[in-house]
Each structure stands twice: as C-alpha cells, then as structure tokens.
C-alpha cells in the first residue's frame, strides 16, 4: 500500500456503518485518521459546509492537492474511490 494516500474517516460512536468502514480500511491495510463527531455539532457544521450533509460516515481520500469524499453509505463507493487512488499513485 502506498503511504502517500491519506484517508480521513468522519464518524460517531455507535454508528455501525462507521465501524464497517473502519474495519474495511484496517482489513485492507489502509492507515486512516478518524474524526469523532459525537457530541461535536461544530464538526457536523464543517461537513455541512463542505458537502451539504451532516451524516456520517464520510471518508475523505486523497494525496497532494487532490481529495475526494465518499458520502454514500456502504463499502461499494469507498472501494471504487480507493481503487482509483491505487491506480493513480
């Protein structure tokens, strides 16, 4: 796995979809940072400004000046985005 790809997971405690995303990343050897929005509405405000949503999980993937956000629930969209970065690096 190329270390240049940065992955940031916006999540909250008790979110099964968030845990599914984190488990997928760990099983596929992606390092990631997590931002916990639990009881932090100001962090949800950031998601609202950036993407027009307040729900999690949101996964930001990128390197250099290029970043994409996966805002759809489910692993399929995340896999598609990560595949693109694997090919680009």
pLDDT band at 88 (very low <50, low <70, confident <90, very high): low
Residue 7's Cβ-count burial label (10 Å; 0-12, 13-18, 19+) is buried
- pTM of the entire predicted model: 0.88
49 lies in a domain?
yes
Identify whether 36 is part of a domain.
yes
Percent helix, strand and coil across the chain, each rounded to 5?
40, 25, 35
Provide the domain limits for residue 37. Answer: 6-88
Output the domain CATH number for residue 46.
3.40.30.10
Query: pLDDT of 64-84, one tens digit each?
Result: 788 899 999 889 999 999 988
Tally of domains within the chain: 1
Q: Does 52 reside within a domain?
A: yes
Token pair belonging to 84:
């693109």
Would 61 be classed as within a structural domain? yes
**Mean per-residue pLDDT for 12-20?**
96
Residue-level pLDDT at 74 = 87
Is residue 1 included in any domain, yes or no? no
């Amino acid at each position: 796995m190329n270390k240049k790809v940065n992955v940031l997971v916006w999540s909250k405690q008790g979110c099964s979809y968030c845990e599914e995303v984190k488990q997928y990343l760990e099983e596929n050897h992606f390092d990631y940072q997590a931002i916990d929005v639990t009881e932090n509405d100001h962090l949800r405000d950031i998601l609202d400004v950036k993407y027009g949503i307040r729900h999690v999980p949101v996964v930001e993937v990128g390197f250099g000046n290029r970043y994409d956000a996966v805002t759809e629930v489910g692993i399929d969209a995340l896999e598609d985005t990560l595949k693109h970065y694997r090919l680009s690096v």
